Structure 1
Amino acid sequence: MTSAAWQHVTDSEPARAVLYRGGHIHSAAHPRATALLTARDGTIAWIGTADDADEIAAAPGDRVDAVADLAGALLAPAFVDAHLHATATGLALGGLDLAAAPTLRAALDAVAAAASAGAATLLGTGWDETRWPEQRPPTAAELEMAAGDRFVYLARVDGHSAVVSGKLAAASGASLLAGWLGDGLCRGDAHHAARSTAYDTITPGQRTDAWRRLRATAAALGIAALHEMAGPEVSSADDLAALLAHAATEPGPLIAGYWAGDAAVLDDLDPGGRLAVGLGGDVFVDGSIGSHTAALRAPYADRPGHRPPPLLDAHAVATTVLTALATGRQPGFHAIGDAAIDVVLAGLDAAATAGAARVAATRPRVEHCVLAHPDQITRLAAHGAVAVVQPAFDTHWGGPAGLYATRLGADRAAAINPFAALAAAGVGLALSSDAPVTPLDPWASIRAAVGHHTPAARLTLPAAFTAATRGGWHAARADTDGHGTLAPGHPATFAVWDLPAGLAHLPGHPPLPDLTGPDPVCLRTVARGRTLYDATTGNGQ
C-alpha cells in the first residue's frame, strides 16, 4: 500500500503554519531541538532551537499563522493503531462492554440494564469466562431471562466465539451450522452467521455514531491513524465502504482499510486500487488461543488431544499473495499459533517462486504472530514480513498464572509474543490493540512491550515507541513519504504530550517520556498539519 492509501482523508480543515516552541522535539535528525514549524501544505517546514524560533516568531505573518508555547511538553510522532475493528470498537465504546464484569452475574446484570434502555438488539463484547469465578459463559436461557425476546449477541473477548440468544440463533440459522456448541455458545460458521444477522440490524446512524466515537477517542489518545481489519467473517464489504466514505468526509484519524475476502469484492469496493485497500489482514489461518481455535503444532495442555488444523493451506496463502502482487496490493494473514505460522511461511515460500524480492516488496503482514519460533522468525524476515502484534495480550493473558499458561503449559506460554526476537531478526514490528479485544491505549501497549512477562521478549522503550509510531506506517507501506519521523519535508503528523513524570534519560535517543510514573497526557494530535484533537477544546479545530 503506497501513501495514496491515506489520501481519502478529509481536507475540509486547512493546514496552518504553526510554530511550536519551548518544549522537547522527538527528532532523531535534531535531537536537541526545542521548536518545530509546520507549513500550510501539511508538512514540517523547520525544526530547531530557541534562538532560531525567536527569529521565526518575529518574522512577517506570511510565514507563521500562530505560535504555540509547548511549556516543556514533548512533541513526538503520533501513534498508529495497526489492527482494530472500527464498528465493533465504536459500539463497545458507547455500549455493552463486558470486559470489566467481575462475575457472570455482573455480566448478566449489565445485559439486563442495557435491555431496559429499549434497544431491539443487544450487541456486546469483552466477556472472558476464565476471569469469572463461575468459569463459564452465559447460556441462551440466561440471556433471555436478562434481555427478554431480543436478539442478543455477546462476543467473547478474543472475538472468535460468542454466546447468543435463542431468537438470534433461530433467525440466523446458527444452531444448524458447524461450530454450534449448544446452549447459545458458537464459533466458526455458526458464530459468523449469528454475528452477521445481529450486525445487520445496526442502522446507518448507529454506525456513523460508532465511527465518530472511535475516531474522537483515538485522536484524544494521540492516535493519528487506524488500520481497519474488515472481512466477511468480521464485518462486511458494505461496512468497510461506508467507513472509508465516512473518513473522506469527516475529520479524524486517518483510516487504512484491509479486506480479508474475495479479491473481486475488493475490486468493486476499490476500483483501480484508488484507495489502495489491502487484500488480507484478517484472512483467518486460525482462530485464537482463548477459544481453543488457534492452530498449534502440539495439542492444548488443558485439552489433551485437541489440535485443530489450520483453516487455510499453503496453496490458499500463496494464491492470496500472488493476487496481491498482480494487483499492487498488500497481503496479510491472521496467524496466532505456530502451526498457522507454518502455513503462512509455506505459502510465502510457494509465492516466492514468482520472485522473492517482488513478494518481499508487498510487505506481507502477519497479524498477531503470537507463537512464533526462532526458525519461523528468521524465515519471516527473509520474506520482508511485518508482524502486527498486540502487547496488551501479554498483560491480559501472559505470565505463569495467565490464560496462555493454562492453555499451553508454562514452557510454551513463555515463548508467546517474542517481540525482541522479531525485532532483532529484522521483522517489521507494528503495535496495535486489536480493539475491541483490548482497549485503545498506546502507552499501555508500550508499557506491556517493555515489561513483557518474559524478560527475553521485552523491547527497549525506544524500540517500543518506534513500533507504536513509525511501525504502523511501515506496516501499511505508507512510510515512504516520511510518516512516523519528524524532519523538515516530512508530514506534520504528531502528538503533543504533557509529562507528569518528566523525560526518560536515554543517551543516543530522541527524548521520550519517563514511564516509571503516570502516563503522559495528550494535549494535541495533528495529522498532516490539521488538528484532530486539542485538549483545550476537546476536539479538532
Structure 2
Amino acid sequence: MTERTSRTVLLRGGTVYSPADPFATAMLIEGEQVAWVGSEGAADGYASVADEVVDLAGALVTPAFVDAHVHATSAGLALTGLDLTGCPTLAEALARIAAFVSAASGEGLAGGVLIGHGWDESGWPEGRPPTRAELDEAAGGAAIYLSRTDVHSALASSALRGLTPGLDAEPGFHPEAPLTRDAHHAVRRTALAHLTDAQRRAAQLATLERAAALGIGSLHECAGPEISSEQDLTALLALAAEHQGPEVYGYWGELGGVETARRLGAVGAGGDLFVDGALGSHTACLHAPYQDAEHTGTAYLTADQVADHVTACTEAGLQAGFHAIGDAALSAVLAGVGTAVARLGLPAVKALRHRVEHAEALDDKAVAAFAEYGLVASVQPAFDAAWGGPDGMYVQRLGAERAAGLNPFAALLRAGVPLAFGSDAPVTALDPWGTVRAAAFHRTPDHRISVRAAFNAHTRGGWRAIGHDHEGVLVPGAPASYAVWETGDLVVQAPDSRVAGWSTDPRSGTPGLPDLTPGGPLPACLRTVVRGRTVYQAGRPG
C-alpha cells in the first residue's frame, strides 16, 4: 500500500473549480482532504501554516477525472506495442504488422504470442480486413492476435489458431475472415495466457502512468472471463494498491459471478458482461437487420438471464452491470431488470444503481426505463466522435435515420439518468478533455450537453456510479483528488450554438471551464494528485 500524506499544501493564484465558491482562487489541502477553498486575500492567513505553497500562476484546478470503463492490460499493450488505430489503409496495416514482428524478433520476443489492436476496415479504401494469407505473410509465421478497434472481433494468424484447440467448432469461427463471438474469445484467451507476468505488469503500469499524466485519478476496470481473466484483475488491483495512483475499482463481468466478484475484490458483478457485441463488428444485437448485412447481430444473454443476474446481485447487495449496445440487447436488459423489480420491488433494485455499459441505441421509452429503474448509463462520447456523423461507421452499419438516434446524452440527462463517462480504452484512447468535448459537440446536435454537464459526468458521475457520492468535487471535507491545468480563457459553454453559446459574465455565478470548441487546443495537465499524494507532475523525470 502506498504511503499516505499528512502534509498541508496551499494552492493559490489560479482558479479553483468548486461549487463552494465559484470565484475561488485558492485551496488548502490537509493530508488527504480538502480543508478550504476561497479567495486570494483569505489565502494569506493559511500561508504560514502550510508545508508547501504552490503558486498556480493562473492555472486551473479541477477534480481529477474518472474514466469509468477501461481495460488496463489491453490499453497498455496498445500503448507499448502494435497500435493500428488510425491506420489509413490495409496496405499500411500489413506493413506495420510486418515491421512489428521484425522488431519483436530482433528483441528476442518471437516464439510467444504477439498482440496488437486498433484496425478498422470501415475507413480503409480497400473496404476489407486482411485475408488470413495476407496476415500470415506479414506475420512471417508468428502467432499474432490483432483486435479490431471495437474489441469484438480479431485477426488471428494461422500460428495462433493452431495454439487454440477446438477453434473451428466455436461459434463465430471462419477459416479466412476475422473471428467473432466464442471463436474470438477463445483466441483472445490463448493470446493473453501467453503474456508473462512481466509483460502484463508493464502494460498495466503504462496505462496507469498515461492516465495520471492526463489528470485521471480513478479508473473502473471492466474485467471478466471473456475479456481478461481472474489473474489479470488480481494483478491490476495489487499493482494499483502498491502504486501511487490512479486508483482502480474493478468490475467482474460474469453471469452469476457474485461470489467470484467478491473474492476478487471487485465492486460489482458487471462491466463487460456481454448481452451483445459491437456495431463495427456487426455483433451488436438489433431489432432490424443491419444496413450492410443481412442479419441482426448476436445475442449473448436473454432477458431471463439478465433478470436472474440482477436478482442475485440485488439480494447480495452488489451492483450488477451489462454491456449492451444494440436496441434489441437494451430491450433484453430492460425487460430483465423489470422482472427483477417485479420480484424484489423497485426500491431494492434502484438502490444498487445497476449499470449499463455503452447503451448506444436508446429510444425515448428506453431512456424513461433507465430513469425509472435508477440505472447508470456508463457511456463513451468518443465513440460518436470516432464513428458518428454523416459519413461515419454508424451510418454504414445502420443507415442515417437509425444512426442519428445513437448516444442520446441530452435525453438521458433530461430524464435524470446518471451519466458516467469513460473511454473503453483501448477502444478509444484515454482522453478526458477530448471526451468532454465529444459530448458537448456531439455529431448529432440534439444529443449535445453542456461542457459543465459533460465534465460532471466525467468526474463526479464516475464516483456516483460506484456509490461514492461525496467524491469528485472540491469542497471542504472531500478527498483531495485533483488536477492542475494549463489552459486558455475559462467560459461557461452551452451545448448548442443556437442558444447562448458561452458567457464570462460573473453575474452568472457559474464557475468556468476551458473553451472546448472543436479545433482548439485542449488543456495540458501540470499535476495530478490522488488523495493528497502527487502522482504526476509535468517535467518531473520518471
Classify the TM-score, shorter chain: over 0.9
Q: The residue matched to 1:115 in structure 2 has which SS? A: helix
Name the counterpart of 1:7: none
Name the counterpart of 2:375: 385
Name the counterpart of 2:306: 317
- 1:374-413 correspondence runs (5 A): 374-413=364-403
Q: 1:267 aligns with which of 239, 247, 259?
A: 259
- 1:494-533 correspondence runs (5 A): 494-504=482-492, 505=503, 507-516=508-517, 517-533=520-536
1:300 and 2:290 aligned: yes
Higher RCO (C-alpha under 8 Å, 6+ residues apart): 1
1:168 and 2:160 aligned: yes
Once residues 518 and 502 of structure 1 are traced to their aligned partners in structure 2, the CA distance between those partners, rounded to angstroms, is: 13
Structure 1 residue 18: Cα displacement: 0.6
Q: The residue matched to 2:249 in structure 1 has which SS? A: strand
- Say whether the 8 Å CA contact 1:23–1:73 is kept in structure 2: yes
- Say whether the 8 Å CA contact 1:241–1:269 is kept in structure 2: no
1:20 and 2:11 aligned: yes
Q: 1:490 aligns with which of 478, 499, 502?
A: 478
Q: The residue matched to 1:525 in structure 2 has which SS? A: strand
Once residues 259 and 276 of structure 1 are traced to their aligned partners in structure 2, the CA distance between those partners, rounded to angstroms, is: 6
| Counterpart residue identity of residue 225, structure 1 | S
Q: The residue matched to 1:464 in structure 2 has which SS? A: helix
Q: Structure 1 stretch 292-301 or stretch 178-187: which is displaced more?
A: 178-187
- 1:44-443 correspondence runs (5 A): 44-59=34-49, 64-117=50-103, 118=105, 119-120=109-110, 121-173=113-165, 174-263=167-256, 267-268=259-260, 270-271=262-263, 275-304=265-294, 306-353=295-342, 354-443=344-433
Once residues 45 and 458 of structure 2 are traced to their aligned partners in structure 1, the CA distance between those partners, rounded to angstroms, is: 34
Name the counterpart of 1:5: none
CA RMSD between the two structures? 1.5
Once residues 7 and 362 of structure 2 are traced to their aligned partners in structure 1, the CA distance between those partners, rounded to angstroms, is: 45
- 1:448-463 correspondence runs (5 A): 448-463=438-453
- Say whether the 8 Å CA contact 1:165–1:184 is kept in structure 2: no
- Say whether the 8 Å CA contact 1:15–1:528 is kept in structure 2: no
Q: Deviations over 1:268-327 (max 9, x none)?
A: 5643x8x452101111111111111111111111124x1135221111111111221122
**Residues 262 and 382 of structure 1: is their aligned pair in 2 closer, same or farther, counting only changes over 3 Å?**
closer
Q: Which runs of 5+ in 2 are unaligned?
A: 493-502
- Say whether the 8 Å CA contact 2:84–2:119 is kept in structure 1: yes
Once residues 241 and 461 of structure 2 are traced to their aligned partners in structure 1, the CA distance between those partners, rounded to angstroms, is: 24
Once residues 503 and 73 of structure 1 are traced to their aligned partners in structure 2, the CA distance between those partners, rounded to angstroms, is: 14
Once residues 58 and 530 of structure 1 are traced to their aligned partners in structure 2, the CA distance between those partners, rounded to angstroms, is: 21
- Say whether the 8 Å CA contact 2:18–2:475 is kept in structure 1: yes
Once residues 400 and 413 of structure 1 are traced to their aligned partners in structure 2, the CA distance between those partners, rounded to angstroms, is: 9
Once residues 461 and 149 of structure 2 are traced to their aligned partners in structure 1, the CA distance between those partners, rounded to angstroms, is: 25
| Counterpart residue identity of residue 271, structure 2 | G
Once residues 314 and 64 of structure 2 are traced to their aligned partners in structure 1, the CA distance between those partners, rounded to angstroms, is: 30
- Say whether the 8 Å CA contact 2:277–2:298 is kept in structure 1: no
Q: The residue matched to 2:407 in structure 1 has which SS? A: coil
Q: The residue matched to 1:378 in structure 2 has which SS? A: helix
1:447 and 2:440 aligned: no
- Say whether the 8 Å CA contact 2:14–2:60 is kept in structure 1: yes
Q: The residue matched to 1:182 in structure 2 has which SS? A: coil
| Counterpart residue identity of residue 14, structure 1 | T
| Counterpart residue identity of residue 128, structure 1 | D
Q: The residue matched to 1:380 in structure 2 has which SS? A: helix
Q: Deviations over 1:436-495 (max 9, x none)?
A: 01111111111111111111100111111111111111112222xx21111000101111
Q: The residue matched to 2:514 in structure 1 has which SS? A: coil
| Counterpart residue identity of residue 494, structure 1 | Y
Q: Deviations over 1:31-77 (max 9, x none)?
A: 1111000112x010111111111111034xxxx21000111111111
Q: The residue matched to 1:371 in structure 2 has which SS? A: coil
1:35 and 2:26 aligned: yes
TM-score (ref. length: structure 2)? 0.93
Structure 1 residue 30: Cα displacement: 1.0
Structure 1 residue 500: Cα displacement: 3.4
Structure 1 residue 538: Cα displacement: 5.0
- Say whether the 8 Å CA contact 2:251–2:261 is kept in structure 1: no
Q: The residue matched to 1:154 in structure 2 has which SS? A: strand
Once residues 391 and 61 of structure 2 are traced to their aligned partners in structure 1, the CA distance between those partners, rounded to angstroms, is: 39
Structure 1 residue 15: Cα displacement: 4.5
Once residues 123 and 503 of structure 1 are traced to their aligned partners in structure 2, the CA distance between those partners, rounded to angstroms, is: 43
Structure 1 residue 211: Cα displacement: 1.1
Structure 1 residue 184: Cα displacement: 4.8
Q: The residue matched to 2:357 in structure 1 has which SS? A: strand
Structure 1 residue 508: Cα displacement: 3.8
- Say whether the 8 Å CA contact 1:237–1:269 is kept in structure 2: no
Once residues 319 and 435 of structure 1 are traced to their aligned partners in structure 2, the CA distance between those partners, rounded to angstroms, is: 29
Q: The residue matched to 2:361 in structure 1 has which SS? A: coil
Q: The residue matched to 2:389 in structure 1 has which SS? A: coil
Structure 1 residue 397: Cα displacement: 0.7
Structure 1 residue 401: Cα displacement: 1.0
Once residues 422 and 226 of structure 2 are traced to their aligned partners in structure 1, the CA distance between those partners, rounded to angstroms, is: 20
Q: How high is the sequence identity, in percent, across the aligned residues?
A: 51
Q: The residue matched to 1:417 in structure 2 has which SS? A: coil
Structure 1 residue 267: Cα displacement: 2.9
Once residues 71 and 15 of structure 1 are traced to their aligned partners in structure 2, the CA distance between those partners, rounded to angstroms, is: 25
Name the counterpart of 2:497: none
TM-score (ref. length: structure 1)? 0.93
